[in-house]
A and B are shown apart, each in its own frame.
Chain A
Amino acid sequence: MNPELSPHRAGVRGGDPDLQDLYQEVILDHNRRPRNFRAFDAGRRAEGFNPLCGDRITVFLNVDNGVIRDVAFQGSGCAISKASASLMTESVKGKTLDEAQVLFERFQQMITAPADAPVESLGKLTVLAGVRQFPVRVKCASLAWHTLRAAVDARDEVVSTE
């Protein structure tokens, strides 16, 4: 357990602090009611796929003058992948593509850092730092971001976590 992880552990009662870090109330809320969970006729879109578990996501992206004007997603996946996609859409909207790329890199660093490393604040995204205690779930948290990057590059292919 890392004491610097967010204290909002209302999601899981009793017992297991690592599990409390993973399934925080904010994450459970974004899983239940994902934000920007819709499709639109976008300039750019990309599909992401995790062949190990079958999770699928489509990211829709509207970029104007290098700025992300709108971003949304659809698909099916676990609580971590859904909450991560939802939080991602909230945090990149209005950002430039360069800023989004920097955020992706910092996010990736945060979720793959050693369990006892200090947690750098990434705003709302910080709630996903608990994923670092569960290395097999890192791909769940990063799928949406890989898919976003594919949409930015407008690569006409399905992105895979493998």
Chain B
Amino acid sequence: MASVVSAPRDALNVAAIRQDFPILRQRVHGKPLVYLDNAATTQKPQAVIDALQRYYSEENANVHRGVHSLSGRATDAYDAAREDVRRFINAADAREIVFVRGTTEGINLVAQTWGRARVGAGDEIVLTEMEHHSNIVPWQILCEEKGARLRVAPITDAGELRLDELERLLNARTRLVAVAHVSNVLGTVNPVAEIVRLARARGIPVLVDGAQAVAHMPVDVQALGCDFYAFSGHKVLGPTGIGVLYGRRELLEAMPVYQGGGGQIGSVTFDRTTYAPLPYKYEAGTPNIAGVIGLAAAIDYVTGVGLDRIAAYERDLCAYATSALADVPGLRLTGTARDRASVLSFVLGDVHPHDIGTILDREGVAIRAGHHCCQPLMRRLGVPATARASLALYNTRQEIDTLVAALQRVGEVFE
């Protein structure tokens, strides 16, 4: 069952990395925790936990408000974090980084500002069959309001996007292409740069849902060429409730504001309000300062390990897991794209994924079971639900072996 892929020479030291994640030391039902639900949320290294603790113990104050020292320190940390994020995704300008609650809010922001200004009756928004509900529903809401419609690019049975079909959907009425960088169910890595090239040639902007990508591979928004890129902090070792919307400056400048309130204004009278410059224009109200600082600590952590090394390690582990799972009687992988990252969805005979999830949990193995917020994709795959094991940099081959042994146990119960 061992993979023949050899580890790169400067392979990451997974044993040392595991030491950085206190939650991984615990036992569940008397068994060592095997956490394979990283596509839902990732665990946090001590550096992130410490950053949150330090902020609340030593720096807590509102940002961009006070003249006092604490407020100055909090503001410095907050602004420095924006620069960290810029570097992390190689945006051209830190003003292109808008802090939001997560990927979902980032996409909703674009739908409710850019979308409301630019999408009209009869216009079309192109998605793919593998999108998460958070990259479907905001567009549906917009379409209902505007009398526009969604067009959906199909996937192959292996779970790869039909790029030719997507291209066929692009026309003079297409206002936006919205696509996942990495599918949260199939693990498919979509050819975003190629999609952008097709769309750009027709003057169509592209939004990328990067929720499942940023923790697993280097992301360069300028190389991708996309117009918007959204991701969540908690899926890249950071806290929940903080995320990022990247938008090209030219678009962000032109778009109407999102929410109104403090911190986002230039001047206010009862007759008229002018707005603050980018990025504050989109950040009304006291932001999630601790979340931003925690996110910066998470980004420092993953960039310290190296996204290239993380990607190489996880690809090797994913290949190992793919061949190990193939040996489980009755198991079928849903999602066998050539370019796949860190996600393994499967069905096991006619055993329902929830029953698999419960039995695995008793062995200490945490996976996700269900529709993964992708009901249209489940219908396309012809299954009501799947079981999903999703990897992160701290997972090991030994843990994959534990998963496989636990799946044998499922087979015994339901034989």
Contact = CB atoms under 8 A, between A and B. Distances in A.
A19 interface: yes
Interface in A20-53: 22-23, 28, 52-53
Contacts of A13: 412
A53 B413 contact: no
A22 B359 CA distance: 10
Which of B29, B352, B353, B369 has the most C-beta atoms of chain A within 10 angstroms of its own C-beta? Answer: B352
A16 B362 contact: yes
Interface in B12-46: 29
5 contacts: A23-B413, A53-B354, A54-B370, A80-B354, A140-B354
A134 B370 contact: no
A73 B29 CA distance: 35
Given A11-B413, A19-B413, A23-B413, A53 B358 contact: no
Nearest to A53: B370
Interface string B367-407: 00111000100100000110000000000000000000000
Interface in A63-104: 76-80, 82
Interface residues of A, number: 24
4 closest A-B pairs by CB: A78-B352, A78-B354, A54-B371, A53-B370
B353 to A, nearest CB: 8
Given A19-B359, A56-B384, A137-B358, 7 more contacts: A16-B362, A19-B362, A22-B358, A23-B355, A28-B413, A54-B371, A140-B354
B414 interface: yes
Contacts of B369: 53
Contact of B352 (A16, A79, A134): A79
A32 B398 CA distance: 33
Interface in B339-366: 351-355, 358-359, 362
Interface in A131-162: 134, 136-137, 140
A115 interface: no
Contacts of A140: 354
A55 B29 CA distance: 27
B385 A54 contact: yes
Interface residues of B, number: 19
Nearest to A137: B358
Nearest to A140: B354
Contacts of B358: 19, 22, 134, 136-137
Given A16-B362, A134-B358, A76 B384 contact: yes
A66 B353 CA distance: 38
A13 B371 CA distance: 30
B354 A137 contact: yes
Nearest to A23: B413
A22 B361 CA distance: 13
Interface of B: 29, 351-355, 358-359, 362, 369-371, 375, 378, 384-385, 412-414
A12 interface: yes
Contacts of B412: 12-13
Which of A52, A55, A82 has the most C-beta atoms of chain B within 10 angstroms of its own C-beta? Answer: A55
Nearest to A14: B412
Contacts of A19: 358-359, 362, 413
B413 A54 contact: no
Contacts of A76: 384
A19 to B, nearest CB: 5
Which of B351, B354, B375 has the most C-beta atoms of chain A within 10 angstroms of its own C-beta? Answer: B354
Contacts of B385: 53-54
Contacts of A23: 355, 359, 413-414
B40 to A, nearest CB: 13
Nearest to B385: A54
Contacts of A137: 354, 358
B140 to A, nearest CB: 16
A78 B413 contact: no
Which of A13, A18, A77, A79 has the most C-beta atoms of chain B within 10 angstroms of its own C-beta? Answer: A79
B133 to A, nearest CB: 11
B355 A52 contact: no
Contacts of A12: 412-413
A80 B378 CA distance: 21
A26 to B, nearest CB: 14
B304 to A, nearest CB: 36
A18 B29 CA distance: 11
Contacts of A77: 352, 354, 384
A54 to B, nearest CB: 4
A140 to B, nearest CB: 7
Contact of B375 (A28, A54, A136): A54
Contacts of B353: 78
A16 B354 CA distance: 18
Contact of B371 (A22, A53, A78): A53
A139 to B, nearest CB: 10
Contact of A18 (B362, B370, B413): B362
Which of A12, A23, A55, A78 has the most C-beta atoms of chain B within 10 angstroms of its own C-beta? Answer: A78
A19 B409 CA distance: 11
